[in-house]
Amino acid sequence: MGFKEDIKKLHSQIDSLSIDEIKAIVDPYQRGIKIVSPVIAANSFFYRGRFFNTGFKKTDPIKISDLSYRKTGVPAGRANRENSPVFYCSDVKEIVFYELNVSEGAEFILSNWQNTATLIVSNIGYTESVFKGMGSTRICPKWGKREDGIDTFSLDLLSEEEMAAKLKKISDSDPHFEIRAFYNNEFMREDKSFYKLTTAIAEQHLGEIQDSALRFGGIIYPTVRMAANGDNVAILPWYVDRHLVFKGASHIKVTARKGNEISFSEVDYATAFDADGNLIWKGYPLHGNILPGHYTAKDTVGTDEFGFYERVYDGKKVRWEIYDENGTICS
């Protein structure tokens, strides 16, 4: 039986197949495939959210474990089996709103995290066909290395005709084109009934790195809820426990949502825990403690030391820096 026949069989029996049975069907076709993946530098920021509700209130003590990955009662997800947790997060805070699928009036805690060591991730979903099919407005990224070994990031700007020609050239020259297309397209399904299949694909992308003592720390993939206009990362627990540090949190209230347009306000923020391990809320939003007077606000590229920023502009995180009349930055 060939690849197409096996995949057709897999789709028809998906409800009855286990994750391991799915992997057994696909595994013979993935051997020999090489994947070029990015290396996420230390001191990068990641963002994740959790709704406030009757079982998780701001007035209750909030521990760091309440904000990190769940240890028990873990539901199956895009890249994890039931009761096998991963730390789902995004590279910009805006994605979190869409991944949570917030509605008007919703309140949640948005937490900021920073890695202390290089994070090597596998990747799924980064093809021109996936981006085009999802209606992405950004260009599909490609990763590689310069001759001096420095990691690089580049973009291909292609017309419709160039894209079609490129895909045909790849399919004609790559013996693994069909299986690559299968992995990338199937993993990006939004239907949760296919999570067994997406988890099987994720596990197959987290194999050993040949000729290296390094380990994959997770998987990066385009956000489905934002039509591939941003990236999600599923980070494995071993890396989180060793190399991910809490930096800050915000109490967010969604004030309006019309389609994909979301308005929100920051109610409060925090950057530390007390001696008992409880989150210490400031009692006001970022810069909310600045008294009336003569101040100057300056747009500055990048986050502050806690990962906070105002917005993304032209692909870059931008924050406000507030200066008093003496030119001193206000905390």
Report whether pLDDT(331) > 80. no
Lowest mean pLDDT: which of 39-48, 117-126, 135-144, 146-155? 146-155
| 139 and 13 fall within a common domain | yes
| 258 and 296 fall within a common domain | no
Residue range 33-38: mean pLDDT, rounded: 75
What integer best gives the mean pLDDT of the chain? Answer: 83
Residue range 250-263: mean pLDDT, rounded: 92
Nearest to 93 by CA among 236, 283, 247: 247
| 50 and 134 fall within a common domain | yes
Q: What pLDDT is recorded for position 204?
A: 87
Residue range 197-217: mean pLDDT, rounded: 80
Give the model confidence (pLDDT) of 176-188 as tens digits: 557 777 888 888 8
Q: What pLDDT is recorded for position 22?
A: 93
| 265 and 309 fall within a common domain | no
Lowest mean pLDDT: which of 42-46, 258-262, 271-275, 311-315? 311-315
Residue range 255-270: mean pLDDT, rounded: 92
111 or 330, which is more confident:
111
| 180 and 192 fall within a common domain | yes
Q: Residues 60, 53: contact at Cβ < 8 Å?
A: no
Rg, Å, the chain Cα set: 22
Residue range 59-78: mean pLDDT, rounded: 96
Q: What pLDDT is recorded for position 218?
A: 95
Lowest mean pLDDT: which of 100-114, 269-283, 297-311? 297-311
Give the model confidence (pLDDT) of 117-130 as tens digits: 999 999 998 887 78
Report whether pLDDT(322) > 50. yes
Q: Residues 271, 245: contact at Cβ < 8 Å?
A: no
Lowest mean pLDDT: which of 199-203, 209-213, 222-226, 243-247? 209-213
Nearest to 40 by CA among 113, 97, 147, 109: 113
Query: Going by DSSP bridges, is the β-strand pair 261-273/141-145 parallel, antiparallel, or unpaired?
Result: unpaired
| 161 and 203 fall within a common domain | yes
| 169 and 192 fall within a common domain | yes
166 or 77, which is more confident:
77
Report whether pLDDT(255) > 80. yes
Percent of the chain, pLDDT > 90?
Answer: 50
| 23 and 131 fall within a common domain | yes
| 296 and 181 fall within a common domain | no
Report whether pLDDT(151) > 50. no
| 41 and 76 fall within a common domain | yes
Residue-number span of the structural domain to which 305 is assigned: 288-331
**3-state SS, one letter per residue, for the chain:** CCHHHHHHHHHHCCCCCCHHHHHHHHHHHHCCCCCCCCEECCCCEEEEEEECECCECCCCCCCHHHCCCCCCCCCCCCCCCCCCCCEEEECCHHHHHHHCCCCCCCEEEEEEEEECCCEEEEECCCCHHHHHHHCCCCCCEEEEECCCCCEEEEECCCCHHHHHHHHHHHHHHCCCHHHHHHHHHHHCCCCHHHHHHHHHHHHHCCCCCCCCCCCCCEEEEECCCCCCCCEEEEECHHHHHHHEEEEEEEEEEEEEEECCEEEEEEEEEEEEECCCCCEEECCCCCCCCCCCCCCEEEEEECCCCCCCCCEEECCEEEEEEEECCCCCECC
Residue range 48-56: mean pLDDT, rounded: 96
Query: Going by DSSP bridges, is the β-strand pair 107-115/141-145 parallel, antiparallel, or unpaired?
Result: unpaired
| 292 and 278 fall within a common domain | no
2 or 23, which is more confident:
23
Give the model confidence (pLDDT) of 283-298 as tens digits: 999 866 555 555 566 7
| 173 and 317 fall within a common domain | no
Q: What pLDDT is recorded for position 329?
A: 67
Q: What pLDDT is recorded for position 274?
A: 97
Domains of the chain: total: 2
Report whether pLDDT(197) > 90. yes
Using pLDDT thresholds of 50, 70 and 90, give the confidence band for residue 161. low
